[in-house]
Amino acid sequence: MKNTAIALLLILACSLGAVSWHQHKQLKQQQAQLAEVEAQLQEKSRADEKVALAERKSKVLQEVLTDTSKIAEEKTQQAERLQQKLAAAGTNNANPFADMFKDPAMKEMIKSQQKAVMGPMIAKQYAALFQQLGLTPEQSATLKDLLQQKMLAGADAGISMMDGSLDAAQRAELAKDVKKQTDETDAQIKEFLGDENYKAFQDYEKTTADRMVVGQFSDQLADGAMALSPDQQQQLIQVMSEERNGFKWTTDFNQQNPPTGDFTAMFTEDKINQFAEEKEKLDQQTLARVQQILNPDQLTAFQQFQTTQRQLQMAGMKMAAKMFAPKSP
């Protein structure tokens, strides 16, 4: 989360993906239960045990099929509701989310959730760096605190910028405050690590976005036969980082904030459409390279994962565009 734009899009993406992830986790648990029943059925020899286990298998299978159908239906309904909200916002030029982010209680709830998520996220995403630098547990804890401080600065600003009552000057001031806070925290990190380790830290940070994506994809495959090996994960991170950093963007929402804090000019329909085209092109280039890393089943799953990630990102950007749309006179 290097900047306010990323923080803002992360908040929106988390809101869209939280329910689907919870449902996906439940489905995984049920599938594991089904596999366990099948294994037991193969091991049992007595007829009465086979009958009992077969009944259990039938029951669990029915639950899996029923929940799979429900998840598909709910995802379809969620997409339809989102489309309706965006269409309504485009018709009446209203921001359907602005009031929600004006509520102090809602802001505090989101901040609390972010803090709860950031601790484990930092521990996971930066574990390899802590090991690379040879940090003690106490030193790792100090660096984690500094990283969380840096991330929360952008996240707080992202929440504040969703307030539809802010004008361009107020958003510009918020952007200036975020840069000041992150620069100060970066200076503290440099002082804490020293010049040599800080250079390693900067190099590592260039790959954190890719590490997060690979981590999410790896978690989806972790419970099955398609699980990624540590070597595959590292190769994926390297390929994705090389492709992303070498890509020539027209509009890169991943790397920059508007210098004036004018997100209205940043999240235009033309720029979002251009970014969507370029992001799909980047994904195709990445997919071509990872064919040498993943087996056919993993490759199919990765392609589906890319599509889902793009759809969530585009939905978040369209929401942002409505939030920052000029007010009616």
pLDDT band at 327, cuts 50/70/90? low
Question: Tell me: the pLDDT tens digits for 170-225?
Answer: 777 777 887 888 889 999 999 999 999 999 999 998 888 899 899 989 988 887 78
Distance CA 140, CA 150 (A): 15
Tokens of 295: 């087996």
Q: Which pLDDT score is estimated for 3?
A: 47
Question: Tell me: the pLDDT tens digits for 265-277?
Answer: 677 888 888 888 9
Q: Report H helices in 93-126.
A: 98-102, 104-125
In 3D space, the residue among 150, 142, 159 whose CA is nearest the CA of residue 101 turns out to be 159
Other residues' Cβ atoms within 10 Å of the Cβ of residue 285? 15
State if pTM tops 0.75.
no
Q: Are 305 and 220 in contact (CB under 8 A)?
A: yes
Question: Tell me: the pLDDT tens digits for 254-312?
Answer: 655 555 555 666 778 888 888 889 999 999 999 999 999 999 999 999 999 999 988 88
